[in-house]
Structure 1
């Protein structure tokens, strides 16, 4: 893992989302990050490329369901070794980011799958 050359506001935005996803043991795709940080695709994907090049995150292509009628998404996850650096960076630059945050799920839709299949909770 190498250091990042520059830390921009969009980088901090993306790191916040990736840290929340990491804490919930989830992977997140670029479009979901764009929606969370309210930034353009080129901005978010540029940050993701820099984070991946620095070794802070890994990206992998999802394995779509056979009947999925959409392109595959690239899923990103923060490396566990980068978590202390991310927390320190956010504590320094955005202390409020590490306080209580609302939970959200990117890929945890099991309740919806169960409900659509006729199951109940």
Structure 2
């Protein structure tokens, strides 16, 4: 695996988004990465190209059904080699990126409903 010659803020943002997606067992398409990083398209795609050239990510085109016209999405995910490399780089350059973030969803609501019903923590 080749290293990344130039590590920029946008590259770290993209790696952070891809690592979080990996932890949730998901792939991200380009638009989702743009939204997650709050960076513009050309900046994100340049970072994705560098990461792909380094062997840290893989990309694949969405397979559409014949009755589902429209543009295909390109999905990105970390490779087996890219996962530890991304973790190491983020640990070095952006340690806060690896701290778990609270997941919003039904768990807080369930907890609140339990409290309202007279339960405890």
Q: TM-score, normalized by length of structure 1?
A: 0.80
> How far did 1:102 drift?
4.3
Show CA shifts across 1:48-102 (max 9, x none): 1111111100111010233334200111110022211111111111111000124
CA distance in 2, matches of 1:59, 1:89: 21
RMSD: 1.5
Contact preservation (8 Å) 2:56, 2:85: no
CA distance in 2, matches of 1:68, 1:100: 37
Larger relative contact order (Cα-Cα within 8 Å, sequence gap ≥ 6) = 1
CA distance in 1, matches of 2:42, 2:58: 18
Matches within 5 A, 1:62-77: 62-77=62-77
In structure 2, the CA distance between the partners of 1:76 and 1:103, relative to structure 1 (3 Å rule), is: farther
Runs (4+) off by over 3 Å? none
How many residue pairs end up in the alignment?
104
Gapped regions of structure 1 (runs ≥ 5): 105-121
Show CA shifts across 1:18-71 (max 9, x none): 001111221110000000101100000011111111110011101023333420
In structure 2, the CA distance between the partners of 1:15 and 1:103, relative to structure 1 (3 Å rule), is: farther
Please tell me whether Structure 1 or Structure 2 has the larger radius of gyration of its CA atoms. Answer: 2
Gapped regions of structure 2 (runs ≥ 5): 105-121
CA distance in 1, matches of 2:46, 2:39: 11
> How far did 1:103 drift?
4.6
Matches within 5 A, 1:11-50: 11-50=11-50
